[in-house]
């Protein structure tokens, strides 16, 4: 096959539009030695930003987006990664300025390529994708800071989104009491089905109090929101607790005081899933694989995921930008 289909973002008059495009395999970056036939990808907030023309994500258009891909190697310049190997590629420059995984084919450097870890398949690894990898990295950081289930409840923001849903399910399976925070009152049953013990509405957590500290209620938190959400939850963490900060759907700004840090000794832990080493990614994928083997793991992942065809991706990416997504979206190239 010399041509393939992909999602394609074009820009004209400062406006972007996204559609399916036929391209030639020769259009892929030939200096990258690993050609992968993609079987599954997933949709992420960052893909939506790329489609919206956000220059912090994608500098030049037209562009083939998609920060996640799982597929099979069809050409290789690396003996450690032979033809026929099933692999995962997440993060680095994939889908930012390198043609990305919302496509039947990608061509990437071998340093970005991880053989599918034991216990995972092409499909179930993309049911997690970057969102699940990030959730696992957040939980790793909380646990390395000393948090365990007996320390108390963990708050998860953006709980109906990709990172939030998967973090809720994994934390619950590891024995934590999970307090899910959502802006969607009609999704409380869903959040309880995937493991939340209690659901709070975003407005309750964001209640703007001028006080620098509030009643300490949570051992830790996983925050995808930033902004006022993060500032307010920092005030409510118990002494010695930790907050894993990984997103900015509310705002990239953080207006806080030093009080939670100097009076309660809490830790604000930054989480990056993009530029970390392949071995750090592999250890987070191990947590994901263990979760898949657990009693409720895959049953919860079936509830969390919605499968779509590549052709449906433009509409779903717009829904992500509008905050309307209520699941992790798996893109199945065979549909």
Question: If binding is defined by CB under 6 A, does position 184 make contact with ligand NAP?
Answer: yes
Question: If binding is defined by CB under 6 A, does position 198 make contact with ligand NAP?
Answer: no
List 229, 232, 236, 267, residue binding ligand NAP (CB under 6 A): 229
- The set of residues, in sequence order, having a beta carbon less than 8 Å from that of 13 and lying 6+ positions away, is none
Nearest-5° Cα angle at 304, 65 to 127: 45
Question: If binding is defined by CB under 6 A, does position 249 make contact with ligand NAP?
Answer: yes
Quickly count: other Cβ atoms within 10 Å of residue 206's Cβ.
18
Q: Which of residues 66-125 bind ligand NAP (CB under 6 A)?
A: none
Return the residue nearest ligand NAP (CB atom): 161
Q: Which is nearer to ligand NAP, 94 or 325 (CB)?
A: 325
Q: Which of residues 29-58 bind ligand NAP (CB under 6 A)?
A: 44-46
Query: Quick one: 193 exposed, middle or buried, by C-beta within 10 A (0-12, 13-18, 19+)?
Result: middle
List 34, 39, 70, 159, residue binding ligand NAP (CB under 6 A): 159
Nearest-5° Cα angle at 42, 99 to 154: 125
Q: How far is the CB of 311 from ligand NAP (least distance, A)?
A: 20
Q: How far is the CB of 218 from ligand NAP (least distance, A)?
A: 16
Cβ atoms of 271 and 141 within 8 Å: the answer is yes
Question: If binding is defined by CB under 6 A, does position 320 make contact with ligand NAP?
Answer: yes
CA distances from 79 to 28, 75, 76, 105 (A): 21, 11, 8, 20
Which two three-digit tokens encode residue 278? 């392949």
Q: How far is the CB of 149 from ligand NAP (least distance, A)?
A: 23
List 73, 127, 131, 154, residue binding ligand NAP (CB under 6 A): 131
Scanning the structure block, which residue is given the tokens 């949570």? Answer: 218
Q: Which is nearer to ligand NAP, 6 or 222 (CB)?
A: 222
**Could you tell me how far CA 237 lies from the centroid of its own chain?**
24
Residue 23, strand partner residues: 4
Question: If binding is defined by CB under 6 A, does position 163 make contact with ligand NAP?
Answer: yes
The window from 120-128, 242-250, 297-305, 309-317 that contacts ligand NAP (CB under 6 A) reads 242-250
Q: Which is nearer to ligand NAP, 33 or 323 (CB)?
A: 323
The window from 18-26, 127-135, 168-176, 291-299 that contacts ligand NAP (CB under 6 A) reads 127-135
Question: If binding is defined by CB under 6 A, does position 127 make contact with ligand NAP?
Answer: no
Complete DSSP assignment for 101-169: SSBSEEEE-GGG-EEPPTT--HHHHHHHHHHHHHHHHHHHHHHHTT--GGG--EEESSTTSHHHHHHHH
Q: How far is the CB of 247 from ligand NAP (least distance, A)?
A: 3
Q: How far is the CB of 89 from ligand NAP (least distance, A)?
A: 15
Complete DSSP assignment for 232-252: HHHTTEEEEEEEEE---SSBS
CA distances from 243 to 7, 39, 165 (A): 36, 35, 17
Question: If binding is defined by CB under 6 A, does position 248 make contact with ligand NAP?
Answer: yes
The residues of the shown chain that bind ligand NAP, judged by CB under 6 A, are 44-46, 130-131, 134, 157-164, 182-184, 202, 224-225, 229, 246-250, 271-274, 320, 323, 325
């Amino acid at each position: 096959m010399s041509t393939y289909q992909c999602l394609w973002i074009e820009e004209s008059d400062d406006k972007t539009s996204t559609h399916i495009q036929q391209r030639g395999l020769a259009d892929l970056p030939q200096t990258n030695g690993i050609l992968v036939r993609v079987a599954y990808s997933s949709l992420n907030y960052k893909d939506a930003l790329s489609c919206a023309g956000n220059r912090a994500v994608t500098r030049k258009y037209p562009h083939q987006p998609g920060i996640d891909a799982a597929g099979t190697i069809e050409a290789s310049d690396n003996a450690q990664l032979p033809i026929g190997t099933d692999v995962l590629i997440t993060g680095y420059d994939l889908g930012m300025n390198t043609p990305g995984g919302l496509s039947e084919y990608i061509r990437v450097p071998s340093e970005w390529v991880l053989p599918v870890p034991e216990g995972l398949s092409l499909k179930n690894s993309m049911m997690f994708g970057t969102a699940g990898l990030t959730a696992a990295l957040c939980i790793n950081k909380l646990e390395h800071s000393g948090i365990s289930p007996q320390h108390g409840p963990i708050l998860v923001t953006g709980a109906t989104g990709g990172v939030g849903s998967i973090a809720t399910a994994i934390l619950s399976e590891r024995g934590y009491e999970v307090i899910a925070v959502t802006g969607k009152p009609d999704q409380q049953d869903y959040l309880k089905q995937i493991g939340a013990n209690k659901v709070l509405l975003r407005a309750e957590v964001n209640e703007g109090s001028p006080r620098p500290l509030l009643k300490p209620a949570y051992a830790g938190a996983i925050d995808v929101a930033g902004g006022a959400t993060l500032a307010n939850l920092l005030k409510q963490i118990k002494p010695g607790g930790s907050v894993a900060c990984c997103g900015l759907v509310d705002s990239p700004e953080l207006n806080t005081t030093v009080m939670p840090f100097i009076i309660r000794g809490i830790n604000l832990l930054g989480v990056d899933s993009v530029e970390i080493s392949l071995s750090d990614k592999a250890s987070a994928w191990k947590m994901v694989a263990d979760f898949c083997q657990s009693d409720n793991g895959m049953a919860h992942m079936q509830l969390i995921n919605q499968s779509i065809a590549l052709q449906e991706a433009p509409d779903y990416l717009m829904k992500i930008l509008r905050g309307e997504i209520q699941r992790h979206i798996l893109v199945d190239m065979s549909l």
